[in-house]
Structure 1
Amino acid sequence: MKELNIPTNRESGNNSSVDSLQKISEDLNHAEKLRRSDFVGTILRLENLLERLEKLNSDRNSKEYKHAYTTILTHLSNVHFYSSKYEKALHYTALLETASVYYSDNLMKANALLQLGNIHSDLGDYTESMKCSTSALEIFKELDNLEGMGSTNNNIGNVFLFQKNFDEAIPHYEKALFYFNQVDQKMNKSNVLQNMASIYIHREDYPNALNCLAEAEKLKVEINDQFGVAVCKFLTGDIHLDAKEFDIALKYYRESLEIQTKLDDKNGIFYSNMHLGKTYVDKYLTEGQKEKALLTKAEKYFLESLFTAQRVNSKYTLSLIYKNLSSLYEILGNLEKALDFHKKLYEIEKDIYNEKVTEDILKLEKELQVKEAKHTAEINQLRNVELAETIKKLEEIVKQKNEFFGVVVHDLKNPIGNIKLLAEFLIDEGNYSHAEVNEFKKFIVESADTSLELITQLLDYAAIEQGKITLNVNDFDIISETERIIRLYKLKTMQKEIEVKLKNELKNNIIHSDKNALVQIIDNLFSNAIKFSPVQKNVMIRLLKEDDFLKIEIKDEGPGFSNEDRKKLFNQFSKLSARPTAGEHSSGLGLSIVKKLVDSLKGKIECDSEVGNGASMIVRIPI
Structure 2
Amino acid sequence: MKITFPHRILLVGLLIAMIQPLLAQNTVRIFELKKKLKTSKGVEKSVLLNQIGFEFRTSHPDSTLHYCRLALKISRVEKAYVPMAESYNFMGLADLYKGAPKEALKKYDSAFQLAESVSDTVQMAHAYNNTGRLFFEWADLAKAYENFSKARLYFESAQDTAGMAYAYRSLSDLFKSQHDYENALAMARKALALRQAAREPYGIITAKNQIGSLYEITGDFTQAESLLREAEEMASNLEDEALLAEIKLALGQLYLHTGSLTKALSEGFRAENILKRLSSTRLVGKSNLLLGEILLKQKQLKEALPFLLAAENDSRKYKQLELQTEATFYLAQLYGLQGANAKALVYQNQYKQLNDSLKNSELALQAEKFNFQLEIERNQQENELLKAIEQKNQATIRFQRYLNLGALLILIIVGTFSYFLWRSAKARKLINQKLKVQNHKLRELNEEKDSLMGVVAHDLKTPLTNIKSISDLLPAVATLSKKQEDFVGLIQKSTAAGLTLIDELLEIHTLENTLSPNVSTVSLSTMLQKKVESFQSAADLKSIRLISEIQNAELNTDADWLGRSLDNLISNAIKFSPRQATVTLRSGITDDEAWISIKDEGPGFTEEDKGKVFQKFKKLSARPTAGESSNGLGLSIVKTLVERMKGNIVLLSDPGKGSEFIIRLPLK
Normalising by structure 2, what TM-score?
0.48
1:223 CA drift (Å): 4.0
Do 2:59 and 2:280's aligned partners in 1 also have CA atoms closer than 8 Å?
no
| Structural RMSD (CA) | 3.2
Name the CA shift for 1:200/1:133 in 2 (closer, same or farther; >3 Å).
same
Name the CA shift for 1:179/1:79 in 2 (closer, same or farther; >3 Å).
same
Partners in 1 of 2:268 and 2:102 — Cα distance? 27
* Counterpart position of 2:142: 127
Partners in 1 of 2:52 and 2:332 — Cα distance? 46
1:220 CA drift (Å): 2.6
1:333 CA drift (Å): 1.4
Cα shift readout 1:550-597 (whole Å, capped 9, x = no counterpart): xxxxxxxxxxxxxxxxxxxxxxxxxxxxxxxxxxxxxxxxxxxxxxxx
Name the CA shift for 1:47/1:153 in 2 (closer, same or farther; >3 Å).
closer
Partners in 1 of 2:374 and 2:231 — Cα distance? 32
Identical aligned residues as a percent: 17
Do 1:39 and 1:263's aligned partners in 2 also have CA atoms closer than 8 Å?
no
Partners in 2 of 1:228 and 1:44 — Cα distance? 20
Matched, 1:49 2:75: no
* Counterpart position of 1:363: 370
Name the CA shift for 1:191/1:83 in 2 (closer, same or farther; >3 Å).
farther
* Counterpart position of 2:559: none
Matched, 1:312 2:318: yes
Do 2:164 and 2:191's aligned partners in 1 also have CA atoms closer than 8 Å?
yes
* Counterpart position of 1:76: 91
Structure in which a larger fraction of residues adopt helix: 2
Partners in 1 of 2:58 and 2:137 — Cα distance? 18
Do 1:83 and 1:263's aligned partners in 2 also have CA atoms closer than 8 Å?
no
* Counterpart position of 1:540: none
Mapping of residues 523-538 of structure 1, within 5 Å: none
The count of residues paired between Structure 1 and Structure 2 equals: 346
1:303 CA drift (Å): 0.9
Partners in 1 of 2:320 and 2:47 — Cα distance? 35
Do 2:50 and 2:90's aligned partners in 1 also have CA atoms closer than 8 Å?
no
* Counterpart position of 2:125: 110
Do 2:169 and 2:187's aligned partners in 1 also have CA atoms closer than 8 Å?
yes
* Counterpart position of 1:60: 79
Letter in 1 for 2:241: Q
Mapping of residues 127-276 of structure 1, within 5 Å: 127-276=142-291
Q: What stretches of structure 1 of length at least 5 have no aligned partner?
A: 1-9, 11-16, 285-293, 375-623
Q: What secondary structure is seen at the aligned counterpart in 2 of 1:267?
A: coil
Matched, 1:345 2:351: yes
Letter in 2 for 1:206: F
1:266 CA drift (Å): 2.6
1:46 CA drift (Å): 3.3
Partners in 2 of 1:151 and 1:51 — Cα distance? 24
1:21 CA drift (Å): 5.8
Do 1:49 and 1:72's aligned partners in 2 also have CA atoms closer than 8 Å?
no
Name the CA shift for 1:107/1:243 in 2 (closer, same or farther; >3 Å).
closer
Query: Which of the two has higher C-alpha Rg?
Result: 2
Cα shift readout 1:583-613 (whole Å, capped 9, x = no counterpart): xxxxxxxxxxxxxxxxxxxxxxxxxxxxxxx
Name the CA shift for 1:333/1:364 in 2 (closer, same or farther; >3 Å).
farther
Do 2:245 and 2:274's aligned partners in 1 also have CA atoms closer than 8 Å?
yes
* Counterpart position of 1:38: 60
Partners in 1 of 2:368 and 2:196 — Cα distance? 28
1:144 CA drift (Å): 2.2
Letter in 1 for 2:333: S
1:165 CA drift (Å): 2.3
Letter in 1 for 2:78: D
Q: What stretches of structure 2 of length at least 5 have no aligned partner?
A: 1-31, 33-38, 382-668
Q: What secondary structure is seen at the aligned counterpart in 2 of 1:273?
A: helix
Mapping of residues 7-26 of structure 1, within 5 Å: 19=41
Partners in 2 of 1:160 and 1:151 — Cα distance? 14
Name the CA shift for 1:365/1:165 in 2 (closer, same or farther; >3 Å).
farther
Name the CA shift for 1:43/1:108 in 2 (closer, same or farther; >3 Å).
closer
Partners in 2 of 1:25 and 1:111 — Cα distance? 16
Name the CA shift for 1:29/1:188 in 2 (closer, same or farther; >3 Å).
closer
**Runs of 4+ displaced beyond 4 Å:** 20-30, 364-374
Name the CA shift for 1:373/1:221 in 2 (closer, same or farther; >3 Å).
farther
Letter in 2 for 1:230: A
Name the CA shift for 1:270/1:203 in 2 (closer, same or farther; >3 Å).
same
Letter in 2 for 1:37: S
Moved more, 364-373 or 335-344: 364-373
